[in-house]
Amino acid sequence: MAATEFDLLFTNATLLTADPAQPTLRHADLGVKDGRIAWLGGTVPEGTRARRRIDASGKVLTPGFVNVHTHAILSMVRGVAADLGFAPSYTPGIPKGPQVNPEQARALAQLGALEALLFGSTLVGDNFVHADVTTEAMAELGLRLTPSWRIHDVDFARVADGEWIYNPAIGERTLRAGLELAERWRGNPRVQVQLATHAVDTCSDAFLREIAGVAERTGMVVNTHLGQSQVEVDRVAARTGRTSTQVLEDSGLLNARLMGGHCIYLTEDDMARMARAGAHAVHIPKCNAASGRLAPTPALKRAGINMALATDTQHADMIELMRWALATARIQEGRVTDEWQPRHVFEMATLGGARAIGQAAHIGSLALGKCADLVMLDFARPHLVPHVEPLGNLVHTGQGRDVQMVVVDGEILVEDGLPTRVDMHSVCAAAEQACRELWGDVGREYWR
Ligand SMILES: [Zn+2]
């Protein structure tokens, strides 16, 4: 190993690996070579060379956070939508996907991706409209993506008025766009396109079966909203006499390549079906809480379902989100339990997400041979002292703003808290301009 020259070498760090075999390593070195973790653990031999050597004393390194369910364009309703009581796509009086033009989509996508990246997400699973444009825009920042078009055959323009009308032409258009996106990014190591089937109430039975066929043929991961609202539950029951989970099962979509977002309104039977199928739950605790809802995560866990974490339309701080996941589970348990400890929510934010998207062999933990996707945090700040239990500090008092450096595939994408590939102020200014236009279109005065 002495002959190795690392591309990047962190020395004397505290590593929170998310690897159950060796969860915390202190006074450890981490070396990166050709985008992979090539040294992990004790001090590298004397004379080891590195193109870039970083003294990580007082710093904590973690795997990059895997944020599997976001809609960056919906940054446009920040500060408003969370107080209206329901998901933006269903809510009247605010800008909607179909109103967003490609230029606005690009600006908002970069804002969302930049926010997530600066807070330590090395992967973002974004889906919405204009995914061709938003994927290009987000990829410019260098982070890993699992993007998708929002695939549905309901006419969303009518849903906010309470009408669910299925139009095969819309289904054909959104699914075709999804497959074209997959074709466009085929072979790119940082971009793996998914099929974001919006929800069971917004996709007809026939369309769900068609998507299942495509997923089977292509092996693509299907990302959906599942048990998101009472409206969904009621609509699906009225249409099919079944639960959303049962309809997914009947359609051939309930399997280990399915990620269900929210998972609030599920029965015990639904959870048993998900567990049997190996389907994954995407826990979105802050969005749920902001709308007065709580996903039954203790029950999901007892059922044996793998859980990932995601910020959805809320601000993209996965560190804060771990705290929400822990607190909301404990509220439901009514006490502190062995099943809900910092290591469990940390796993959800990293390895659990990697499993859900089928990439756990490559990302999600700090381990030899895995992709060098990692985050360096400044633990010298007052709220992170003392360093008795660094993982406890990270989960209970850490913040996205403690992130100093973010690395993907060994490439430094954030340094000293700033992006290396784009100008932060230009990204913010472009997004601000897009929102000024979009809010103007719905007749709402912009604040400045
Ligand atoms: Zn969503």
In 114-247, where do the E strands start and end? 121-128, 144-145, 148-151, 195-199, 222-226
Distance 124 CA to ligand 1 centre (A): 13
| pLDDT computed for residue 2 by the predictor | 47
- Return the CATH architecture of domain 5-63+365-416: Roll (2.30)
For residue 41, the CA-to-ligand 1 centroid distance in Å is 38
Give distance in angstroms: CA of 290 to centre of ligand 1: 14
**What is the CA angle 65-85-201, rounded to 5?**
80
pLDDT score at 247: 98
Ligand 1 centroid – CA 70 distance (Å): 6
For 27-40, the pLDDT digits (tens) are: 999 999 999 999 99
Helices (H), 241-377: 244-251, 268-277, 285-290, 297-302, 318-333, 342-347, 353-356
pLDDT at 45 over 90: yes
List pLDDT tens digits, range 153-169.
999 888 878 899 999 99
Distance 68 CA to ligand 1 centre (A): 10
Lowest model confidence (mean pLDDT) among 57-61, 79-83, 151-155, 214-218: 79-83
pLDDT class for 1, splitting at 50, 70, 90?
very low
| CA 259 to ligand 1 center in whole angstroms | 11
Neighbours of ion ligand 1 (CB under 5 A): 312
410 neighbors 372 (Cβ within 8 angstroms): yes
Task: Output the CA–CA distances (angstroms, integers) from residue 341 to 248, 348, 440, in the order listed.
Answer: 32, 11, 46
Q: CA 11 to CA 29: how far, in whole Å? A: 4
| 225-247 pLDDT per residue, tens | 999 999 999 999 999 999 999 99
Rg (CA), the chain: 21
Question: How far apart (Å, rounded) are the C-alpha atoms in residues 86 and 98?
Answer: 18
Task: State in Å: Cα 376 to ligand 1 middle.
Answer: 28
Q: How far is the CA of 348 from the centre of ligand 1 (A)?
A: 17
Whole-number pLDDT of residue 410: 98
Q: Do residues 400 and 320 touch, judged by C-beta distance below 8 A?
A: yes
Q: How far is the CA of 313 from the centre of ligand 1 (A)?
A: 7
Mean pLDDT of the chain: 95
Please give the distance, rounded to the nearest whole angstrom, from the Cα atom of residue 428 to the centre of ligand 1.
23
- pLDDT, tens digit, 9 for 90 and up, residues 311-338: 998 889 999 999 999 999 999 999 999 9
For residue 312, the CA-to-ligand 1 centroid distance in Å is 5
Q: Alpha-carbon distance 154 to 151, whole Å?
A: 9
The rounded percent of the chain whose pLDDT value lies above 90 is 88
Say how far apart CA 143 and CA 139 lie, in whole Å: 6
| Residue 446 confidence (pLDDT) above 90 | no
User: Is residue 448 over pLDDT 70?
Assistant: no
C-alpha 20 – ligand 1 centre gap (Å): 30
Closest CA to 122 of 399, 410, 361: 410
Instruction: Give the tens place of pLDDT for each residue, 63-82.
Output: 999 999 999 999 998 888 77
How far is ligand 1, taken at its centre, from the CA of residue 51, in Å?
Answer: 41
62: tokens are: 């973690």
**What's the gap in Å between 284 CA and the centre of ligand 1?**
9
At a CB cut-off of 8 Å and minimum separation 6, what does 448 contact?
none
* CA–centroid distance, residue 179 to ligand 1 (Å): 20
Tell me the pLDDT tens digit for each residue of 372-410. 999 999 999 999 999 999 999 999 999 999 999 999 999
CA distances from 332 to 294, 299, 307, 336 (A): 9, 10, 17, 10
Assess whether pLDDT exceeds 60 at residue 127.
Answer: yes
pLDDT for res 238: 96
Using CB atoms within 10 A of its CB, is residue 135 exposed (0-12), middle (13-18) or buried (19+)? buried
Q: What element of type H or E holds 62?
A: strand 59-63
- Residue 30 C-alpha to ligand 1 middle, in angstroms? 35
Q: What is the pLDDT of residue 440?
A: 86
Mean local confidence (pLDDT), 91-117: 91
The structural domains of the chain, with segments of one domain joined by +, span: 5-63+365-416, 65-356
**Distance (Å) from CA 75 to ligand 1 centroid:** 12
Ligand 1 midpoint to CA 429 (Å):
25
Residue-level pLDDT at 444: 78
CATH number of 65-356: 3.20.20.140
Report how far ligand 1's centroid is from the alpha carbon of 156 (Å): 15
Q: What is the mean pLDDT of residues 336-363?
A: 98
Mean pLDDT value of segment 241-259:
98
Distance 238 CA to ligand 1 centre (A): 23
Residue 213 has pLDDT above 80, yes or no: yes
- CA 195 to ligand 1 center in whole angstroms: 13
- Say what the pLDDT of residue 443 is: 78
Cα 40 to middle of ligand 1, angstroms:
36
In angstroms, how far is CA 70 from the centroid of its own chain? 6
How far is the centre of ligand 1, averaged over its atoms, from the C-alpha of 445 (Å)? Answer: 27
- The CA 311 to ligand 1 mean position distance, Å, reads 9
What b/e sequence results for 411-434 when a residue is b if at least 16 CB atoms lie within 10 Å of its CB, and e otherwise? bbbbeeeebeebeeeebeebbeeb
Q: Is the pLDDT confidence value at 360 over 90?
A: yes
CA of 444 to the centre of ligand 1 (A): 24
How far is Cα 12 from Cα 56, in angstroms, rounded to an integer?
6
What torsion, rounded to 10 degrees, do the Cα atoms 187, 361, 127, 277 define? 120
CB 310 within 8 A of CB 125: yes
* Predicted pLDDT at 103: 97
CA–centroid distance, residue 298 to ligand 1 (Å): 21
